Structure 1
Amino acid sequence: MYKCALILAAGQGTRIKSDLPKVLHKACGKEMVNHVIDTLRKADIADINVIIGKGSELVKEKTSSREVSYSLQAEQLGTGHAVKCAIDFLKDKKGTVAIFCGDAPLIKEETVVSLFEEHNSNNNTATLLTSILDDATGYGRIIRDGNEVLKIVEHKDCNEEELKVTEMNAGVYCFDIEKLLEALNKLSNNNSQGEYYLTDVIGILKSEGEKVGAVVIDFEETLGVNSRAQLAQVESILRKRINAKHMDNGVTLIDPNNTYIGADVIIGKDTIIYPGNVLEGNTVIGERCMLYPNSRINNSTIENDVEIQSSVILDSKVGEKTTVGPFAYIRPDSVIGSHVRIGDFVEIKKSVIGNNTKVSHLTYVGDAEVGENCNFGCGTVTVNYDGKNKNKTIIGNNSFIGCNTNLISPVKVEDNAYIAAGSTITDDVKSGELAVARAKQRNIAGWVDKRGLLKK
């Protein structure tokens, strides 16, 4: 049977006090609305429509890679009005549509699957998610007759008996598409807020004898975000879930409460991660890696048996059995080979470093292609910028770059070449040559005394 989903993502969220649309605030490194979209994709929902309003162009930009469609809610006149704005998406469709909130990123894949299964197996016209609370104050109550839902009553409208009900509405629904469209045409905004409420659709369907069911889930999954404090709460829950998943998969987290792993990060077994590490984006960490405290790795691939200490790696690749840091900075578009040493206070920018090469300390390598088995002395700089253009340095295999060398790009150092310490290289160095480019030393006798600098 055909199934699709709507995501309500039009609200600005005044309580969160931000110029950024609420659904674009991130939890564990990913926009809340993208958490929801990705969960729906995992639950095998291919056709997803996002209902946008405030900041619509920015929401489109941040969700465009997800291949979703959009409906515009120009005015925010309630949840029912939001769904009415997606009528063009729903018309002429037959099957089931589920409705989710773009600011509630904790919904689980298995919950989405069970919602559809419950809806279809019981031939329901509508099925909603609910939770049981010890204190449901402030929430709409679910009034049942056995397994069937009769109505949803807002807290302020509950009578004495209804206030005793502990089952609350989670704000997630499944509907038969054709029946939903019929009910939307009957929605009224005759209430104190002058808004169209999606909850009223349940009452309309029941008045017409339609079957409405519910699936009870953990309240944690229903949590939405309306403030920075709630965003922090959601972030904490997601982080615990993510870290637990990695530990279940064979990763050691020394202190899970202080380890920050993004939702899409992949980590191989027997990797050990110390506290303070921040792993972001589509990062992939191999097996048996050692991540000592306080590194940030974003959108990068780290192969097996790599050791990283207190370093930053962005949009790059690090080969197996390589060591990085402490205090190294690997900037975007760098490819570090295997068995490489990138040491303390080394910066690599948009460069390729060949296997078995050592760049041990206090060195800058930018816009360079470096071969295998090279050695960089302390203080080496590839001078890649002439004030107008970035230029390339090429260094062949088995080359030795002495301490405090400046390589003025564009320049090429061929295989098996040596450069003497303190040299400023402006011309190519051929294979087998030693390049020495520095002024001859002069010692001036008596200079200190003549300047009156002699200390007695």
Structure 2
Amino acid sequence: MQKQNKTLQAVILCAGKSTRTYPLTLTRPKTLLSIANSPIIRYFLDNLSGLVDEVIIVVNYMKEMIIKEVGDSYKGMKIVFVEQKQMLGTADAVIAAESYIKDKFLLMYGDDLYSQEDFKQILKHEYALLAKKVEDPRLFGIIQTKNNKALGIIEKPAANIDIGNLANVGVFMLDKSIFAYKNKIKKSSRDEFELTDMLSLMMKDKSFAIVEAQQWIPITYAWSLLEANEILLNKLTKSEIKGNVEKNAAIKGIVILGKNSIIKNGAYLEGTIIIGENCTIGPNCYIRGPTAIGNNCKVGNAVEIKASILFDNVHVGHLSYVGDSVIGEKVNFGAGSIIANLRHDNKTVQSFINGKKIDSGRRKLGAIIGDNVHLSIKTAIYPGRKIWPDIDTAPCEIIKIDKMKQWKGED
């Protein structure tokens, strides 16, 4: 193993729009989606802390929100924002940062979750990429290998092409020599300049080590947040109560309770649950983990919440059920609103993404609800359905298909 490089810079690609995580990313960039009550970008920065001195974040879509969230420094690291002027692909995003890169740098996609230990391991090599074995190679960019060295990357190979199942997960140890290949690539079938094409050319000239990832949590669809939330919450080992728990509330598991939050009498909390600041939970409600509830939320009487994510300022009125769902900011549930999370035939739940039916792979999946939605009393929502931001439902309305509307800036 080579001596560890003194890598001073990291580059995070956060410019993309991410239509596959609509409706949540109609109102925020993907890297600001909340998992276990923290935006994705903060997991990157926390894991980079102590490893690099400077982080370059490439932005475009809703860039102001990312700049406001992160600021110009983070835990001693200097933060530099670079705008990708045109959305011409991942290679173009890296090229946008070229003039800011000094020499060696750690490059990563800005939407999946990785571990600090994996960052440490890849930093031990001059050139390397992070990889993970996958069940279905057709869904990923697969690395061509020989003697544990990378020879190239083939995006989503056809079923009749057998090159293994080691997927590129989006973290690379590089230096400025990558830019020697920027004028040697052509647009892909997606009409974009692909980073993997640049890397494949570079691999013909440089020896790239393969580091197998210990943790890779891909955030491909909105429901991917639920799996990520469960993985991160399962790492918690003890409760932390900064708010108030009334004497007749029951806690059966690990609970993180933020400042000025209260769990009222009759509330029953089971499993691993994180609750933000200034929340009111109960009385007489049932919350099952793994669940994350953001700041300034209210969970009313006779409400059940199970394995869900609630962003900030969500109000779930009395007699409501929220299961296996992701709820955007400032959503209000009228009394008796119910989200179904299980099909009668017990098959996995499907959902339409960009006009195509996608199998979530989940037996239980509730709703994905955008910001500022108001559900009137007794709204019922079928499994896997999505509601676009700023939509109001009618009393007793049944949401059988995605409830969408034209959104500003949406193609």
Q: What TM-score do you get using the length of structure 2 for normalisation?
A: 0.56
Deviation at 1:167, TM superposition (A): 1.2
Deviation at 1:115, TM superposition (A): 0.6
In structure 1, the gaps of 5 or more residues are 254-260, 263-271, 284-291, 301-308, 316-456
Deviations 1:102-133 (A, max 9, x none): 2112x11111000101x1xxxx4x31011112
**In structure 2, C-alpha distance between the alignment counterparts of 1:227 and 1:155, rounded to whole Å:** 17
Q: Counterpart of 1:8?
A: 13
CA contact (8 A) 1:5 1:97 kept: yes
Deviation at 1:231, TM superposition (A): 1.1
Matches within 5 A, 1:221-370: 221-241=215-235, 243=236, 246=237, 251=238, 274-275=252-253, 277-280=255-258, 298=276
- The residue identity in structure 1 corresponding to 2:148 is N
Matches within 5 A, 1:137-286: 137-156=138-157, 160-162=161-163, 165-176=164-175, 178-183=176-181, 185-207=182-204, 209-218=205-214, 221-241=215-235, 243=236, 246=237, 251=238, 274-275=252-253, 277-280=255-258
Deviation at 1:173, TM superposition (A): 0.7
Deviation at 1:274, TM superposition (A): 3.9
User: Closer, same or farther in 2 for the Cα pair 1:274/1:158, shift >3 Å?
Assistant: closer
Aligned-partner SS, 2:209 = strand
User: Closer, same or farther in 2 for the Cα pair 1:129/1:158, shift >3 Å?
Assistant: farther
Deviations 1:386-422 (A, max 9, x none): xxxxxxxxxxxxxxxxxxxxxxxxxxxxxxxxxxxxx
| Greater relative CO, 1 or 2 (CA 8 Å, sep 6+) | 2
**In structure 2, C-alpha distance between the alignment counterparts of 1:225 and 1:134, rounded to whole Å:** 17
Q: Counterpart of 1:113?
A: 120
Question: What stretches of structure 1 move > 6 A for 4+ residues in a row?
Answer: none
Aligned-partner SS, 1:48 = strand
- The residue identity in structure 2 corresponding to 1:102 is G
Deviations 1:14-41 (A, max 9, x none): 1221311111111111110111111111
Deviation at 1:226, TM superposition (A): 3.0
User: Closer, same or farther in 2 for the Cα pair 1:144/1:24, shift >3 Å?
Assistant: same
Question: Percent same amino acid at aligned positions?
Answer: 21
- The residue identity in structure 1 corresponding to 2:112 is A
Aligned-partner SS, 1:35 = helix
1:38 to 2:46 alignment: yes
Q: Counterpart of 2:29?
A: 21
Q: Counterpart of 1:130?
A: 131
Return the match for 2:69 from 62, 67, 73: 62
Deviations 1:47-79 (A, max 9, x none): 101111110011100111624111101322211
Deviation at 1:157, TM superposition (A): 6.1
- The residue identity in structure 2 corresponding to 1:174 is M
CA contact (8 A) 2:142 2:166 kept: yes
User: Closer, same or farther in 2 for the Cα pair 1:296/1:40, shift >3 Å?
Assistant: closer
**In structure 2, C-alpha distance between the alignment counterparts of 1:180 and 1:191, rounded to whole Å:** 18
CA contact (8 A) 2:9 2:52 kept: yes
- The residue identity in structure 2 corresponding to 1:22 is K
User: Closer, same or farther in 2 for the Cα pair 1:190/1:102, shift >3 Å?
Assistant: closer
CA contact (8 A) 1:8 1:102 kept: yes
CA contact (8 A) 2:14 2:57 kept: yes
Deviations 1:166-219 (A, max 9, x none): 11111111102x212222x33423322221111112222133x2211110124x
CA contact (8 A) 2:152 2:201 kept: no
**In structure 2, C-alpha distance between the alignment counterparts of 1:212 and 1:277, rounded to whole Å:** 43
CA contact (8 A) 2:13 2:57 kept: yes
CA contact (8 A) 2:7 2:52 kept: no
User: Closer, same or farther in 2 for the Cα pair 1:226/1:2, shift >3 Å?
Assistant: closer
The structure with more radius of gyration: 1
CA contact (8 A) 1:99 1:174 kept: yes
**In structure 2, C-alpha distance between the alignment counterparts of 1:197 and 1:296, rounded to whole Å:** 38
Deviation at 1:228, TM superposition (A): 1.8
**In structure 1, C-alpha distance between the alignment counterparts of 2:194 and 2:100, rounded to whole Å:** 19
CA contact (8 A) 2:11 2:55 kept: yes
Aligned-partner SS, 2:119 = helix
Larger helix fraction of residues:
1
Aligned-partner SS, 2:123 = helix
Corresponding pairs, count: 260
CA contact (8 A) 2:32 2:40 kept: yes
User: Closer, same or farther in 2 for the Cα pair 1:115/1:158, shift >3 Å?
Assistant: farther
CA contact (8 A) 1:276 1:293 kept: no
User: Closer, same or farther in 2 for the Cα pair 1:37/1:296, shift >3 Å?
Assistant: closer
Deviation at 1:83, TM superposition (A): 0.4
Deviations 1:76-106 (A, max 9, x none): 221111101111211xx13x2111222112x
